[in-house]
Amino acid sequence: MSRFGAGAVSLLLLAGAALPARAQQTDASPLPAVALPAALDRVLRDYERAWQARDPAALAELFAEDGFVLASGRPPVRGRVAIRAAYAEGGGPLALRALAYATEGSTGYIVGAYGPGAGHPDTGKFVLALRRGAGDRWLIAADIDNGNQRGPRPPTAAVTMPDAKVVFVCEHGSAKSLIASEWFNRLARERGLPMRSVSRGLTPDDAIPPAIAQLLRNDGFDVSGMTPRRLEEPDGAGAVRVVGIGVDAAALGNVGPAPVDIWTDIPPVSTGYAASRDAMRRRIDALLEELARTR
């Protein structure tokens, strides 16, 4: 048997027994969500953030090195490199909720449902088989999902018009670009715009400084579990804009055909979070208006 292990297989076989009694009903009412322990809930929230940001690299990092993606109607995909490639064109609005879960030793599972956002009906369901990795962090050993609708999916804006991607870049990927990306994504959602962003660094920090995480938390953003990522050439693929904050355009290297903006008027976060945030918000407002006119 593979490293997935007999324990995880047993847990998955028992998944049906763990579902609420309403799972045996034949009506169309949705099953109730269950609250997850923080360590398991982090898996779902990190998945949501990476998918919404159209960030295949961040999605792949949520999986074990030899993890599987078993998507409905598609061949199986195995390994982080292949998963990153498979998710290259994925992303957009997503909300995940858990219906059942269990853990035993170093293995576990989450049975859940997904949809385009909180308050919207579920459009599919999934099972995440989990394996405990280094530092007691739960990693996805297998992601198994399929939609609720039978037959071909009707054309929708999400299918015919993929989200526009903006890449924010600062020196360390843990302050200005992160703050800008979180605010860009929130403001785009509030305006109903099909746009998402990612944060990158030229020389990324190993982790987001706790002080920055707390300042963002005060503004309603949860960046726990996120790790600053280095700007790489594939990040520019499909981007409609690359924004360097406090960096030289030459330092960005080859980021593809997307226009490059350099913001040089953003105050340092270290000398005043509010002033830096507000300056970026003004820039983001203008950027969203510009991009909305061209979509």
54-70 confidence digits (pLDDT tens): 788 889 999 999 999 99
Residue 268, domain member (yes or no): yes
| pLDDT value of residue 150 | 55
Which pLDDT tens digit goes with each residue over 195-217? 889 999 999 999 999 999 999 99
| Same domain as 199, residue 78 | no
Cβ atoms of 267 and 189 closer than 8 Å: no
CATH number at residue 123: 3.10.450.50
Structural domain range at position 172: 163-294
Does residue 32 share a domain with residue 96?
yes
Total of domains in the chain: 2
- 200: nearest Cα among 224, 222, 232: 232
Query: Is residue 191 one of the residues assigned to a domain?
Result: yes
pLDDT of residue 161: 39
Last-in-domain residue among 96, 121, 147 = 147
Task: Let me know if residue 152 belongs to a domain.
Answer: no
Do 10 and 138 share a structural domain?
Answer: yes
Nearest-10 crossing angle of helices 176-190, 273-294: 50
110 in the same domain as 52:
yes
Report yes or no on 1 lying in a domain. Answer: no
Residue 154 lies in a domain: no
* Nearest residue to 34 via CA among 46, 47, 44, 24: 44
Question: Does 248 share its domain with 279?
Answer: yes
**Whole-number pLDDT of residue 89:** 65
Q: Same domain for 55 and 95?
A: yes
pTM of the predicted model over 0.85: no
Asked if the structure places residue 157 within a domain, the reply is no
CATH number, residue 257: 3.40.50.2300
- Looking at the fold, whether 209 and 131 belong to one and the same domain comes out as no
14 lies in the same domain as 112:
yes
Do 143 and 11 share a domain, yes or no? yes
| Same domain, residue pair 46 and 118 | yes
* Domain C-terminal end among 94, 116, 147: 147
Query: What per-residue confidence (pLDDT) applies to 11?
Result: 52
pLDDT for res 163: 66
Low-confidence ranges of the chain (pLDDT < 50): 1-6, 9, 13-26, 151-161
Give the pLDDT of residue 214: 95
> Are 86 and 202 part of one and the same domain?
no
Q: Is residue 155 part of a domain?
A: no
Q: Which of 112, 110, 121, 188 is nearest to 149 (CA)?
A: 121
Does one domain contain both 110 and 239? Answer: no
Among 113, 147, 181, the domain boundary falls at 147
User: Can you give the pLDDT at residue 62?
Assistant: 95
Q: For residues 158 and 210, what is the distance between their CA atoms, to the nearest angstrom?
A: 35
Angle at 68 between CA 59 and CA 150, to 5 degrees: 90
**CA 256 to chain centroid:** 23
Query: According to the model, what pLDDT value does residue 194 have?
Result: 85
pLDDT, residue 28, reads 61
In a domain, 156, yes or no: no
